[in-house]
Amino acid sequence: MRRREFVTLVGGAAAWPLAARAQQPVIGFLNDGSSDAFARRLEAFRQGLSELGYVEGQNIAIKFRWAEGRYDQLPVMAADLAHRQVAVIAASATPSAVAAKGATSTIPIIFAVGGDPVKFGLVKSVARPDGNATGINFFTTAVGQKRLGLLHELVAKGAVIGFLINPSNPNTTRSTEEAQAAAEQLGHKLIIVKASTIAEIDMAFATLVQANVGGLVVDADAFFVARRVQIITLAARHGIPAIHPNSEFVAIGGLMGYASSIPDAYRSMGNYTGPVLKGTKLADLPVLQPTKLEPAINLSTARALGLTIPPGVLAIADEVIE
């Protein structure tokens, strides 16, 4: 797999000195998912910290707050971290970052988000954040048109397309608008199905089957990441070609994914947290953005669905699983 690179504006980060061994700064890690579902991302975050000499349990401590898809709990968890006066809040995903921003205007916040950080009030601009937050924007919710376009290459002309969303996610409105616009432009009817519980995912697929959809776009959402096995299993059972928000789905049997490298984003998030622990001003740390967003494809799943991936789509795939 070719490694995707993020625009590096930090410069010389690995040369920053270690924090004093006598001190144990505390990072508050706020996430709308679960520790199991985000294990790979957390590993990448720790790697980013370690590249700057920060190792959990040695010279830093991390307090974790996992909402496990309960978005209404994020403000409470963010307020708790702010009350504990952690040195920095690492806010993973847009809802977590918004909750952290609402909980404190003084504690530095390093985010990794898929939504537009300016639109959600996290920063004034990507070049000059001018506040207490900065981080990485990996655009998972800003590529709906491209995802549907890739799926369009695999399904019948004019096929009905399903769009699976979590109505609890604040990103849903924008991603739905983008998907509807893309579907109209490509000549597809879009069926919106909603799920925020395990049972609702089952019901959503029952609706998709009844509507005889030709394909499915899965929106970017922490709950869907946690339930990716269920979603992939149901898509396979009902023979529905689906494109997912990232390659984590593809690695375990999903047909296609499209996003920037999520592990790279979280590694960069760790790289940004390190200098903040040393007192670097957030105004000096612009929001990082990916240089490439590329699809991942599972050819085994394509064969099981009776699909032939067009050469043009294969040619731009960043990761192809045989």
Is 159 inside any structural domain? yes
Calpha distance 171→115 (Å, rounded): 7
3-state helix, strand and coil shares in percent for the chain, rounded to the nearest 5: 40, 20, 40
Do 153 and 301 lie in one domain? The reply is: yes
Q: Kindly report the number of other CB atoms within 10 A of residue 10's CB atom.
A: 20
Q: Kindly report the number of other CB atoms within 10 A of residue 251's CB atom.
A: 15
Q: Kindly report the number of other CB atoms within 10 A of residue 199's CB atom.
A: 9
- CA–chain centroid gap for 297, Å, is 18
| C-alpha dist (Å) from residue 192 to 48, 71, 149, 220, 270 | 38, 21, 17, 14, 36
Do 175 and 197 lie in one domain? The reply is: yes
Do 234 and 310 lie in one domain? The reply is: yes
**Residue 75, pLDDT score:** 96
Calpha distance 126→147 (Å, rounded): 24
Closest of 241, 264, 268, 265 to residue 253, by C-alpha: 241
Do 112 and 151 lie in one domain? The reply is: no
| C-alpha dist (Å) from residue 227 to 33, 69, 85, 146, 271 | 10, 10, 33, 23, 29
Whether 13 has a pLDDT exceeding 60, the answer reads no
Is 4 inside any structural domain? no
Do 178 and 132 lie in one domain? The reply is: no
Order of strands across the sheet with 319-321?
A: 190-194, 161-165, 215-218, 242-244, 256-259, 294-298, 319-321
Q: Which band of pLDDT confidence, cut at 50, 70 and 90, is reported for residue 141?
A: low
Q: Which band of pLDDT confidence, cut at 50, 70 and 90, is reported for residue 322?
A: confident
Is 248 inside any structural domain? yes
Average pLDDT over residues 16-20: 40
Contact 199, 229 (CB under 8 A): no
DSSP string for residues in 276-319: HHTT--GGGSPPB-BS--EEEEEHHHHHHTT----HHHHHH-SE
Average pLDDT over residues 3-23: 42
Do 63 and 191 lie in one domain? The reply is: no
- Beta bridge pairs of residue 89: 28, 109
Do 70 and 159 lie in one domain? The reply is: no
Is 191 inside any structural domain? yes
The CATH number of whichever domain residue 110 belongs to comes to: 3.40.50.2300
Within 56-214, where are the H helices?
Answer: 74-83, 94-103, 144-152, 172-186, 198-210
| C-alpha dist (Å) from residue 128 to 37, 98, 135, 147 | 33, 18, 11, 30
Task: Identify which has the larger pLDDT, 160 or 120.
Answer: 160
Q: Which structural domain, as residue segments, surrounds residue 125?
A: 13-139+260-284
Calpha distance 261→3 (Å, rounded): 8
Whether 238 has a pLDDT exceeding 60, the answer reads yes
In sequence order, what are the residues at sequence separation of 6 or more whose Cβ sits closer than 8 angstroms to the Cβ of residue 281? none
Whether 10 has a pLDDT exceeding 80, the answer reads no
Closest of 19, 5, 313 to residue 151, by C-alpha: 313
Do 195 and 243 lie in one domain? The reply is: yes
- What is the tens place of the pLDDT at every residue in 42-97? 999 999 999 999 999 999 999 999 998 889 999 999 999 999 999 999 999 889 99
Do 174 and 268 lie in one domain? The reply is: no
Q: Which band of pLDDT confidence, cut at 50, 70 and 90, is reported for residue 142?
A: low
Do 123 and 191 lie in one domain? The reply is: no
Do 126 and 149 lie in one domain? The reply is: no
Is 101 inside any structural domain? yes
Closest of 49, 52, 54, 62 to residue 21, by C-alpha: 54
Residue type, 136: I
The mean pLDDT value of the chain amounts to: 88
The count of structural domains within the chain is 2
